[in-house]
Amino acid sequence: GRGSAMAGNPPVSLAGGVLILAVVLFAGLTLLRTEPELLVRSETSPADAEAPPEFGASEADGLSPSEVVLKEKLEVAMADGIYRTPGLTIAGLAERLGTPEHRLRALINRRMGHRNFSAFLNRYRIAEAKALLAERDKVDLPVLTIAMDLGYNSLPPFNRAFRAETGQAPTDYRRAMIGQN
């Protein structure tokens, strides 16, 4: 434009344009080096989504070094039983792991193949519930107690999650496992 100091001087305009181009290229290369997943979206195959990677996946499954470390921290926390915490949210878990919520969400949803945080959490809770319901020593332990001990706030959400995972109600599962058909 007329008010521009560079408008009347083509070499200065060219130098300004080259400088802007260099800054944009530098910023793009910096982003690619630090966080390639910000610019390149990885897709998981349907077969990968069916098999939960946290149960025996190798580190060669395409995770970045920061994702490998976060996944290890997440697995340790889950092995320690953090999933039993009532009212556990992804924000609360991220805070305990010392990571931003968006990183944890991306790892659980996109990289580990879970539908959402609740599905991820329920996977652990229901696995333990199945073990408890199948134990003969715990046959008199009420289903409500199991649900509450696993972090559910009431019986209906536990029953829904259990049925979604196993296809049957907790009491039916117990009968089938203990052999009291």
Domains of the chain: 42-114 (no CATH), 121-178 (1.10.10)
Q: Which of the pair, 3 or 38, is modelled with greater confidence?
A: 3
Q: How many of the other CB atoms lie within 10 Å of CB of 51?
A: 10
Q: Which two tokens stand for residue 48?
A: 């990968």
**Angle in degrees, CA 49, 90, 56, rounded to 5:** 40
Q: How many of the other CB atoms lie within 10 Å of CB of 3?
A: 5
Contacts 24+ apart (CB under 8 A), 44-49: 44/110, 44/111, 44/113, 48/113, 49/113
Q: What is the pLDDT of residues 62-111, one digit of tens each?
A: 888 999 999 999 999 999 999 999 999 999 999 999 999 999 999 999 88
Q: How confident is the model at residue 180 (pLDDT cuts 50, 70, 90)?
A: low
- What pLDDT, on a 0 to 100 scale, did the predictor assign at position 37? 45
Using the 8-state DSSP alphabet, how is residue 107 labeled?
Answer: I
Q: What is the pLDDT of residues 4-60, one digit of tens each?
A: 555 567 777 787 778 888 777 766 666 555 544 444 444 443 334 333 444 444 444
Going from the C-alpha of 26 to that of each of 22, 23, 29, 32, the distances in angstroms are 6, 5, 5, 10
pTM: predicted TM-score of the whole model, two decimal places? 0.64
